[in-house]
């Protein structure tokens, strides 16, 4: 092949219309992502863009909305036990999944029901 795929540029998740503040409350205020201003031509579509280090996450409005309950992004974290404490202190439920050998892994639902995976390799 004469082309190369280098990396994932961003992950996009769907969200319901007019709930950007709810997205900010979770992704920015609870998880620590920084909001990135969307380019002017895309702002009218709604949604929000976030970044944290090399991770770029876009939330786009989808109507009718249907959360991703199986498909999901997986975020590799350091000190996942601290993340668990942090989530609990913010009233965010998570599910522990010990089915992946060599990983400490949890699943979290965002405010819209999208599935998020967080894992730390042991």
Q: Per-residue pLDDT tens for 59-86?
A: 999 999 999 999 999 999 999 999 999 9
pTM here is: 0.95
pLDDT given at position 103: 98
Looking at residue 57, its pLDDT comes to 98
How many Å apart are CA 65 and CA 114, to the nearest integer? 11
CB neighbours (10 Å) of residue 2?
Answer: 3
Is the Cβ–Cβ distance between 11 and 47 less than 8 Å? no
Average pLDDT of span 46-67: 97
Residue 17 CA to residue 24 CA, distance in Å, equals 14
Domains, the chain, in order of start with CATH, read 11-121 (3.10.180.10)
What is the rounded average pLDDT for all residues in the chain? 97
User: Residue 47's pLDDT is what?
Assistant: 98
Lowest mean pLDDT among 1-5, 21-25, 61-65, 98-102: 1-5
Mean pLDDT along residues 40-66: 97
């Amino acid at each position: 092949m004469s082309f190369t795929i280098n990396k994932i540029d961003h992950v996009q998740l769907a969200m319901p219309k007019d709930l950007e503040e709810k997205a900010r409350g979770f992704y920015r205020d609870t998880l620590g992502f920084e909001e990135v201003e969307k380019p002017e031509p895309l702002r009218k579509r709604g949604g929000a863009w976030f970044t944290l280090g090399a991770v770029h996450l876009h939330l786009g409005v989808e109507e009718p909305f249907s959360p991703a309950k199986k498909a999901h992004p997986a975020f590799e974290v350091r000190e996942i036990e601290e993340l668990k404490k942090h989530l609990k202190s913010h009233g965010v439920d998570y599910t522990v999944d010990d089915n992946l050998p060599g990983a400490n892994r949890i699943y979290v639902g965002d405010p819209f029901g999208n599935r998020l995976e967080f894992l730390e390799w042991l």
